[in-house]
Chain A
């Protein structure tokens, strides 16, 4: 283990470490803590510049309910969810298929096709923006939730394929081979043998895609103008214009927007980190 385990150090070093930990965390999360404190203050504290002091009143419930009452925050949340969930299902579902094809079958174009997915996954969004707008227009789904979902699902299929293919590559190939010899069909092998084995990968992808799409701002800005279909990221930014200088409300709304991915992260931490760090340990 590196660095040397702290238990082996002198007790004074150990104490220093135990003190340093919370201090470092406090500094690291300072912006977040300050914004949380702001979100429970009354307006008067903002104007008098009371940032770190004890709030003159605790307006936790008032401010957060004001966000829901005065704005469409709730609808934005629901919109985000109906953008996020279908995207998650479609892209992970398709990636199971493509990943399987690219990992299990040995054919000449497997690697080039895999590289197409990988490369596409890294391109800057701006190079896709105008043609995707044009395409959505032609499909009559520009400025609608399905229009955004279609793009997200297609784009995320790239990332999910990269992930799935590498994950499936590590499966015991002999298992599949022997199933084939026994005459089990290709689709059956996929369904009954491989899918159960890649369940952890599916879970990891699901949380990752959930977070990516929930936090997406660019595509939502580009693809949706209709206030009724806006997701929370764009909604929160437009609140910034609506709540002029009412930072207690802007902070409350911002923190609310962050809640679902945070919950997702804490519930599925293991999968989340496994997903993000794929490739960080081998290769």
Chain B
């Protein structure tokens, strides 16, 4: 015991704990590594090896947790840890999440970039050997000559530009709804509604709306230009003086049609950002503005918008990301068609890499890499902004 009455062992390494933790770690690790699907299938009597995969995974997970527990016990019992607790504790907190994130997100980025220098169809041969070959910049040279790549790139640009409309429209709706009449909260929720629905469902809704045979649009069109007639075998059929536009079937409209569908939830998102922003606009400044005789457009431009800048920033970020990630809508509505005219990089990559039987892993990866570097511009901008904020805060 020290003079202060603290146990002297406060900063001692507690050997039994370190050792037992280490033993647990090593044993669990060995067991984890030795368990494989075939063994589980045999032991638990699974007829098919496939069915044993999930149980194997769970058994491995249990041992992984034991490994982590062992490591934790061992490490936190070291006197080194105890002496440097404040310095080491954050790494303990970070370890699992960071490792997980690195394995599944950060490392794959570099793997994909390395795939892009290969020609590979995704297969390994019987011995598990990789069947691809290194081809240097070959895939990128192909990209430069691929008209589909340029179509995708142009469409990505179109998405980016037109998606930005979500911001002013969202602001417009937010201004329209920023009142305190009764029931306005319900209106706000209902306007936000499209954002909650999955893009697949939005895509299906709009596919139907655009359908030239019996959709929403053709129905409205039919009021003006079409009539019902009997055909040769006596069934009712529609005949139109001017045919309804086949929005998803014609290359010149299809991308616009999909973007319009994509804008619907995106506008809702921007609207909610601005509604929150408007809530926090300082009433004093608005009053001061009014006293200066500012109103309407002038007020919006000089008093309100500057205060909404954080909302605008977030709106731009999410809209850019949304535009570049556009995949679900295209997959649901056109699969990139007609003849590849609605491809964007995200969909084209998917189609080339794992689309039916195509299996061009290398080429697909080079498309993904291009998309990644485009996105990286925005990511860097976003991080730079964040960095500026962090600096001013401290």
A and B touch in the complex (CB under 8 A): yes
A residues sitting closer than 8 Å to B (CB atoms) are 1-7, 17-18, 21, 24-25, 28-32, 34-35, 38, 46-49, 51-52, 94-95, 97-98, 100-102, 104-105, 107, 110-111, 113, 115-120, 122-135, 139-141, 144-146, 150-151, 153-155, 157-158, 161, 180, 185-187, 190, 211, 214-218, 221-222, 233-234, 236-237, 240, 247, 250-251, 254-255, 257-258, 261-262, 264-266, 269, 273, 276-277, 279-283
Q: Show 13 residue pairs from A and B whose CB-CB distance is below 8 angstroms, ordered by the A residue.
A: A102-B94, A105-B90, A119-B379, A123-B372, A131-B111, A132-B104, A141-B54, A218-B328, A218-B331, A254-B201, A280-B315, A281-B310, A282-B310
Residue-wise, chain B 259-276 has the 8 Å CB interface mask toward A (1 for contact) of 000001000010011001
CB closest chain-A residue, reference B87 = A107
CB closest chain-A residue, reference B76 = A187
Say yes or no: A18 contacts B236, CB within 8 Å: no
Option from A98, A132, A254, A265 in Cβ contact (under 8 Å) with B108: A132
Given contacts A25-B190, A105-B86, A277-B314, could you give 18 more A-B pairs where the C-beta distance is less than 8 Å? A1-B178, A28-B190, A28-B191, A47-B214, A48-B236, A102-B94, A124-B346, A127-B112, A130-B353, A130-B364, A135-B103, A155-B101, A155-B105, A157-B100, A221-B331, A233-B198, A257-B201, A277-B277
Q: In the complex, A113→B102 CA distance in Å?
A: 11
The smallest beta-carbon distance between A258 and chain B, in angstroms, is 4
Q: In the complex, A145→B209 CA distance in Å?
A: 34
The smallest beta-carbon distance between B312 and chain A, in angstroms, is 9
Q: Is B199 an interface residue (CB 8 A)?
A: yes
The interface-forming segment of B12-20, B143-151, B158-166, B381-389 is B381-389
Say yes or no: B89 contacts A105, CB within 8 Å: yes
Say yes or no: A117 contacts B176, CB within 8 Å: no
The smallest beta-carbon distance between B266 and chain A, in angstroms, is 12
Say yes or no: B310 contacts A280, CB within 8 Å: yes
Supposing A31-B264, A128-B108, A276-B269 touch, asked if A281 and B198 sit within 8 A by C-beta, the answer is no
Residues of chain B with a CB closer than 8 A to A158's CB: 101, 105
Say yes or no: A101 contacts B112, CB within 8 Å: no
Q: Is B77 an interface residue (CB 8 A)?
A: no
Say yes or no: A128 contacts B90, CB within 8 Å: no
The smallest beta-carbon distance between A207 and chain B, in angstroms, is 10
Q: In the complex, A145→B58 CA distance in Å?
A: 12
Option from A5, A132, A258 in Cβ contact (under 8 Å) with B179: A5
Residues of chain B with a CB closer than 8 A to A7's CB: 180-181
CB closest chain-B residue, reference A105 = B90
Residues of chain A with a CB closer than 8 A to B304's CB: 2
Tally of A-B residue pairs with Cβ under 8 A?
326
Residues of chain A with a CB closer than 8 A to B176's CB: 24
Option from B181, B350, B379 in Cβ contact (under 8 Å) with A123: B379
Say yes or no: B371 contacts A127, CB within 8 Å: yes
Residues of chain A with a CB closer than 8 A to B277's CB: 277, 280-281
Q: Is B196 an interface residue (CB 8 A)?
A: yes
Residues of chain A with a CB closer than 8 A to B115's CB: 130-131
Q: In the complex, A125→B184 CA distance in Å?
A: 38
Say yes or no: B369 contacts A127, CB within 8 Å: yes
Q: In the complex, A174→B232 CA distance in Å?
A: 85
Say yes or no: B214 contacts A49, CB within 8 Å: yes
The smallest beta-carbon distance between B185 and chain A, in angstroms, is 9
Residues of chain A with a CB closer than 8 A to B63's CB: none
Say yes or no: A155 contacts B104, CB within 8 Å: yes
Q: In the complex, which range does the number of interface residues on chain B fall in?
A: 35 or more
Residues of chain A with a CB closer than 8 A to B278's CB: 2
Residue-wise, chain B 47-65 has the 8 Å CB interface mask toward A (1 for contact) of 0000001101110000000
The smallest beta-carbon distance between B171 and chain A, in angstroms, is 11
Say yes or no: A6 contacts B179, CB within 8 Å: yes
Q: In the complex, A195→B277 CA distance in Å?
A: 28
Say yes or no: A125 contacts B346, CB within 8 Å: yes
The interface-forming segment of B23-31, B134-142, B250-258, B280-288 is B280-288
Residues of chain B with a CB closer than 8 A to A257's CB: 198, 200-201
The smallest beta-carbon distance between A257 and chain B, in angstroms, is 6
Residues of chain A with a CB closer than 8 A to B91's CB: 101
Supposing A2-B300, A17-B181 touch, asked if A250 and B208 sit within 8 A by C-beta, the answer is yes
Q: In the complex, A258→B264 CA distance in Å?
A: 16
Say yes or no: B379 contacts A122, CB within 8 Å: yes
Supposing A130-B115, A141-B53 touch, asked if A115 and B368 sit within 8 A by C-beta, the answer is no
Q: Is B117 an interface residue (CB 8 A)?
A: no
The smallest beta-carbon distance between A56 and chain B, in angstroms, is 15
Say yes or no: B111 contacts A144, CB within 8 Å: no
CB closest chain-A residue, reference B385 = A283
Q: In the complex, A125→B272 CA distance in Å?
A: 26
Q: In the complex, A1→B179 CA distance in Å?
A: 9
Q: Is B358 an interface residue (CB 8 A)?
A: no
Within 8 A of A (CB), among B227-251: 236, 238
Nearest first, the 9 closest Cβ-Cβ pairs linking A and B are A215-B198, A154-B104, A131-B108, A101-B93, A105-B90, A98-B97, A101-B90, A94-B97, A131-B111
- Chain A CB within 10 A, most for which of B105, B180, B277, B281: B105
Option from A1, A2, A126 in Cβ contact (under 8 Å) with B349: A126
Residues of chain B with a CB closer than 8 A to A3's CB: 175, 178-179
CB closest chain-B residue, reference A214 = B198
Say yes or no: A95 contacts B97, CB within 8 Å: yes
Q: Is B157 an interface residue (CB 8 A)?
A: no
Q: In the complex, A31→B54 CA distance in Å?
A: 41
Say yes or no: B368 contacts A127, CB within 8 Å: yes
